[in-house]
């Protein structure tokens, strides 16, 4: 793939139409495309595609505007889950409210689904038990923080815009301060959150045909890190159009997903897959690896590892392994980082102690490993994984407290004037011992009228 002409096709939530696919492969010089981890498409394209759907954006590589990840694609597939955001069209409401392109990565996911990693972005909105309200987990300097508020569906986009400005302007010092700034920007006080409770982890890929709640079929097909060819894309899109299927998805697992297929049309989709030699029965180990599709060395290493691990068997059963991911919170509890040391392989392996990717923090399993050392390390971690104790109560993430460890002094970044809790601001009717967080939203610096939201703790 020619990196010089490489474009990223960003569709929030990976939502595309058959016409979008046909437009992307319309030029004869386009051989096909590969799928990215953010529900996006990477394509070697001459110029810029025209005639795409309203929400579809085109970016050059490296990305300026990361695609918004969303678990809308999983809605209606898992028979045991009830995704209120999918049922109530909250995902669509959120997308409609984004009248700007985020420069910070955002995920919007149901906590019940198992198709998408929950913490794959800087800002991660996770559905709560209360319809219409969302938790927000931020990744701040590699530290995961749950904010002590629930956000309304209509507040998601404004919160992203506010947080993006705070981060870009480097206005905050700590996660507490960032939460204070956000609280001062949006009316959040009535929607408190003390913890996020996640159910026991289930890993399901939903490969192949799955019966949906409405009785229709969903087809999910994986590329296995190989490009989707132009001829297949054209036939896939044309068949969808012929059957009145107007929406398809690119998933974060690098698969194409088509939902609402009528059972009477099953044979036509099976015939399409057969004509193009598309498999819907990948091995468990093939699907367990998270590898960048645009990094051939990482793909080659994955194939070599699978071949060697298969010699004596290597049962994954829900264990995912990533190689050189862009972000450590990629949905894998085991991560391999590679480097070349005098033309030989040298690897570092880190892992989640409880093998739940949703928990915070990694441990190091091995450093400076050659290929044989890497195999030994992976086999050891696999045994630890299958011998682990599973907590049936799930995973609890505590929210930070804005009341604890509050700084008593804040400083204006413009004139360096200070607010001291013990003295307050008598000239503006602010009593002594008033916490900075409790100051009115309209409060500003006495000397230069700098707004409260720009003050920093000292």
Eight-class DSSP state of 172: -
Instruction: Kindly give the confidence (pLDDT) of every residue in the chain, 458 residues in length, as a single tens digit, with 9 standing for 90 and above.
Output: 555 678 999 999 999 999 999 999 999 999 999 998 899 999 999 888 999 999 999 988 777 889 999 999 999 998 778 899 999 999 999 999 999 999 999 999 999 898 898 998 999 999 999 999 999 999 876 678 899 889 999 999 999 999 988 888 776 667 777 777 887 788 876 778 889 999 888 777 789 999 999 999 999 999 877 889 999 999 999 999 999 999 999 998 889 999 999 999 999 999 999 999 998 888 778 888 988 877 888 889 999 999 999 888 888 888 999 999 887 778 899 999 998 766 788 999 999 988 999 888 899 999 999 999 999 999 999 999 999 888 788 889 999 876 655 677 888 888 888 888 888 888 888 888 888 877 887 888 888 888 887 888 77
Nearest to 335 by CA among 368, 365, 305, 295: 365
Rounded to 10 deg, the angle between the 266-275 and 230-242 helix axes is 170
- Which positions ≥6 away from 208 have C-beta within 8 Å? 219, 220, 221, 280, 281
* Fold match flag (3-65+204-282 vs 79-198): no
Strand intervals (E) in 226-309: 228-229, 248-250, 255-261, 289-290
Q: Domain 79-198 classified CATH 1.10.1380.10?
A: no
Strand intervals (E) in 342-402: 344-351, 363-369, 395-398
pTM: 0.85
Structure tokens at 46: 């001459």
Q: What is the CATH number of domain 3-65+204-282?
A: 3.90.480.10
CA distance 114 to 320: 13
CA atoms within 13 A on the CB side of 208: 7
Domain residue limits, the chain: 3-65+204-282, 79-198, 285-383
User: Class for domain 285-383, per CATH?
Assistant: alpha beta
* C-alpha dihedral, 345 to 346 to 352 to 358, nearest 10°: -60
């Amino acid at each position: 793939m020619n990196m010089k002409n490489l474009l990223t096709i960003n569709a929030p939530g990976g939502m595309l139409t058959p016409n979008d696919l046909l437009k992307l492969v319309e030029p004869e010089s386009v051989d096909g495309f590969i799928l990215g981890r953010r529900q996006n498409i990477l394509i070697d394209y001459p110029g810029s595609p025209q005639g795409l759907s309203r929400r579809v954006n085109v970016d050059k590589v490296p990305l300026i505007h990361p695609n918004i990840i969303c678990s809308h694609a999983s809605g209606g597939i898992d028979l045991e889950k009830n995704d209120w955001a999918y049922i109530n069209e909250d995902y669509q409401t959120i997308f409609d409210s984004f009248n700007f392109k985020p420069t910070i990565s955002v995920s919007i996911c149901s906590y019940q689904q198992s198709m998408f990693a929950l913490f794959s972005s800087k800002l991660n909105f996770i559905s709560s038990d209360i319809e219409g309200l969302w938790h927000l987990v931020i990744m701040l300097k590699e530290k995961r923080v749950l904010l002590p508020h629930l956000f309304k569906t209509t507040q998601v986009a404004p919160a992203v815009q506010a947080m993006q400005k705070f981060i870009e302007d480097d206005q905050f010092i700590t996660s507490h301060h960032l939460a204070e700034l956000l609280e001062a920007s949006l009316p959040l006080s009535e929607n408190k959150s003390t913890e996020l409770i996640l159910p026991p982890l289930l890993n399901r890929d939903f490969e192949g045909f799955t019966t949906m709640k409405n009785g229709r079929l969903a087809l999910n097909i994986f590329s296995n890190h190989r490009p989707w060819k132009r001829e297949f894309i054209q036939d896939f899109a044309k068949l969808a159009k012929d059957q009145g299927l107007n929406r398809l998805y690119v998933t974060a697992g690098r698969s194409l997903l088509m939902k609402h297929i009528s059972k009477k049309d099953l044979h036509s989709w099976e015939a399409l897959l057969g004509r193009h030699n598309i498999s819907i029965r990948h091995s468990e180990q093939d699907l367990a690896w998270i590898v960048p599709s645009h990094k051939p060395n990482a793909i080659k290493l994955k194939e070599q590892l699978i071949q060697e691990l298969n010699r004596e068997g290597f049962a994954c059963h829900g264990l995912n392994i990533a190689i050189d991911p862009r972000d450590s919170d990629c949905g894998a509890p085991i991560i391999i980082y590679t480097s070349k040391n005098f033309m030989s392989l040298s690897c570092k392996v880190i892992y989640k102690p409880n093998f739940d990717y949703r928990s915070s923090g990694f441990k190091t399993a091995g450093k400076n490993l050659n290929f044989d050392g890497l195999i030994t390390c992976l086999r050891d971690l696999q045994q630890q994984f299958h011998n682990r104790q599973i907590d049936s109560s799930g995973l609890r993430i505590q929210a930070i407290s804005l009341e604890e460890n509050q700084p008593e002094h804040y400083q204006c970044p413009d004139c360096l004037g200070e607010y001291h809790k013990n003295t307050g601001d008598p000239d503006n009717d602010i009593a002594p011992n008033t916490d900075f967080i409790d100051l009115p939203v309209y409060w500003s610096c006495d000397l230069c009228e700098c707004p409260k939201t720009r003050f920093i703790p000292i």
